Amino acid sequence: MTAPISQFNDDGTLHHFLTIEGLGRETLIQILDTAESFIDVGHREIKKVPLLRGKTVVNLFFESSTRTRTTFEIAAKRLSADVINLNPLRLSTSKGETVLDTVKNLEAMHTDLFVVRHSYSGAALLIAQHMPQHVSIVNAGDGRHAHPTQAMLDVFTIRQHRPDFQNLRVAIVGDILHSRVARSQIHALNTLGVAEVRVIAPKTLLPTEVERLGVRPYHDMQQGLQDIDVVIMLRLQLERMQGSLIASEQEYFNLYGLTNDKLAHAAEDVLVMHPGPINRGLEIDSDVADGPHSLILSQVTNGIAVRMSIMAIVMGGQSTRRED
């Protein structure tokens, strides 16, 4: 039986980034602060720093995601790493080879870091358990389990506008049940000490005993958005649903789609976010997505700096230590 794996090296520095669970506030703040130092890189004439020069990063996406894969690729190249993007449809797994066989063969080619996205929960952890000590794994989304880099870019974007987390009320709206992003966001927000995290969704799209995650559930948008400082909308993941969990897409939009009328119940200077891709007219109205409260494009931009930060830290380019 494979032994449990830590995200930390023996000296307390971060080695893998698989999940936000188990990471303390100091570690998250270090990631955010390091990302802040990388924001300027995107504005330079030569958009590179030499932190990962000579290192090889493989983007191993068994599940497609143009936005996430592209930002990881740009982030690694800005760190001066050599980057290989693999098309899952052309991998040997389609010929019967296991995921671990594929990864071990790539590791034998002297890969230093794998960015892994997979439709199965725990895939990134499984790969990390079978890698030698010098190889790092970053989870780019696994099943319904976790999407930790998305959560970190979300809280980074929030901090740019609302640096005092302790006074924040945040609402996450939509398909909580199937969302790995929501789970990671909830862990990050609670670890950073926000005043309150609410989840707003129909009962069919909330996990059983969701309160155990440290959130307050609401089924009514007007009540749930009352005095909220940040609204994070989620994509309705129809491809993951088994059976009829909503009456119709139109009814879902009427009840849970974010419109300016519903947003009026939140704080006057409310921030609106969405991890993408956006389904306009289903979970969010275009007037809101493109409106003055929206930070959706800022999230995309910030994703590069945050992923640079995480890759630099796990590869030893920046230091961070586990809290006691």
Q: What is the pLDDT of residues 256-270, one digit of tens each?
A: 999 999 999 999 999
Count helices and strands in the chain by DSSP H and E runs: 11, 9
Q: Indicate whether 116 pLDDT > 60.
A: yes
> How sure is the predictor about 312, in pLDDT bands with cuts at 50, 70 and 90?
very high
DSSP code for 3: P
Q: Indicate whether 123 pLDDT > 80.
A: yes
Q: How many beta carbons lie within 10 A of that of residue 31, not counting itself?
A: 27
Which amino acid is present at 98? T
Instruction: State yes or no: cis peptide before 202, omega within 30 of 0.
Output: no
List for the chain the helix, strand, coil content (%; round to 5).
40, 15, 40
Region 235-244 average pLDDT: 64
- Give the pTM: 0.92
Using the structure block, give the residue that is written with the tokens 């929960």: 121
Q: Residue length, the chain?
A: 324
What's residue 321's pLDDT?
52
* Each residue's pLDDT tens digit, 273-285: 999 889 999 999 9
Domains and CATH numbers, the chain: 25-146+302-314 (3.40.50.1370), 148-300 (3.40.50.1370)
